Amino acid sequence: MRSPSLALAVWGLIGWLGAASAAPTQIVLTFPVDGQTVVGTLELPADAGKPPVVLMLHGFPGKRDELMIPAVKEGIFARAANAWAARGFASLRIDFRGFGDSGGKLEDASISGEIEDALAAIDFLGKVDAVDASRLFVVGWSLGGAVAAGVAGRSDHPIKGVALWAPASNPALNAADELGEDYIEKGLESGGRAVTKKSWWGAGVSLRTPFFEDLFNFDPAAELERYPGPVFVAVGTRDSNVKPQPAMGQILLTYHKGPNELWVRPMDHVFDSFKGVDTVDELIAATATFMEKNDK
């Protein structure tokens, strides 16, 4: 059963879940970060007791259900959450501040801020009785993959495994390809003012200096080096956003000392989702297998 869109305060949600005899499949919830509201969808498998839980981190630009697959009219993250629920995994997919339904402004977005949102989400999950937060996995796509690497390297909460889908291995290089070097230079020199340009996806995008500074100050490979747990990196050899592949994916694993897997397919940055669901579903299933293997 799919619940209506409910915006529940943190403590109200926790108490409600603890008292409910049968939780709905999906609950739209909120929690605060620095005085702003982060919105997420908590998805619970039916009759699973206290299942393991997956924190899902979207890319830039994006929101928690992620890119709509034309053939099925379903977001890639929403589809993944449904598939994982069928295999016994709960999940929480969030809108970073400035995106989707969350508070804040897009122009204030940064990698550091998104890591802060994700760490707050982990703290929140630790208070939800309906899931077993000691069995936590993190999945991030594109820039969200870089954020997931930062979460893995910085979280005080144990993480069972991290899956990075087409991750931004070198944020400055990847952003230069996507947004243009001139735009990044203007952003670095703007003195904190938002700078605007028309993006490749058709909309205007405005961002402040911290976003651009983080592109150069943040190293996903160095973050992963600090994380001893299992890492799954999925890349496509036809990815025109993060390239060349699979070299960019392998970079992330060069200094990682824990178990890792580089999953390579002849797919684009969106897993050939505009052609159908076959590759998307293969990736979702492979990620579930990775999580099941490491849910010990």
Expressed as residue numbers, the domain containing 248 is: 10-169+229-294
Q: How far apart are CA 133 and CA 85, in angstroms?
A: 15
- DSSP tally for the chain: helices H, then strands E: 10, 12
Assigned domain for 104 exists: yes
Structural tokens at position 198? 């028309």
Q: What is the mean pLDDT of each run of 10 residues along the chain (296 residues)?
A: 35 40 71 98 89 98 96 98 95 98 97 98 96 98 98 98 98 92 95 84 82 98 97 98 97 95 98 98 98 96
Q: How far apart are CA 164 and CA 260, in angstroms?
A: 11
Assigned domain for 215 exists: no
Assigned domain for 31 exists: yes
Residue 152's pLDDT is 98
Assigned domain for 189 exists: no
Strand 195-198 relative to strand 26-33: parallel, antiparallel, unpaired?
unpaired
Assigned domain for 272 exists: yes
DSSP three-state, residue 151: helix
CATH of the domain at 106: 3.40.50.1820
Residue 234's pLDDT is 98
Residue 11's pLDDT is 35
Residue 2's pLDDT is 29
Assigned domain for 235 exists: yes
CB atoms within 10 A of CB 224: 30
- pTM value? 0.92
Q: Which phi and psi (to 5°) does residue 33 adopt? A: -135, 115
Tell me the residue length of the chain.
Answer: 296
DSSP three-state, residue 2: strand
Number of domains in the chain: 1
Residue 167 near residue 142, CB atoms below 8 Å = yes
Assigned domain for 45 exists: yes
Assigned domain for 188 exists: no
Q: How far apart are CA 192 and CA 67, in angstroms?
A: 30
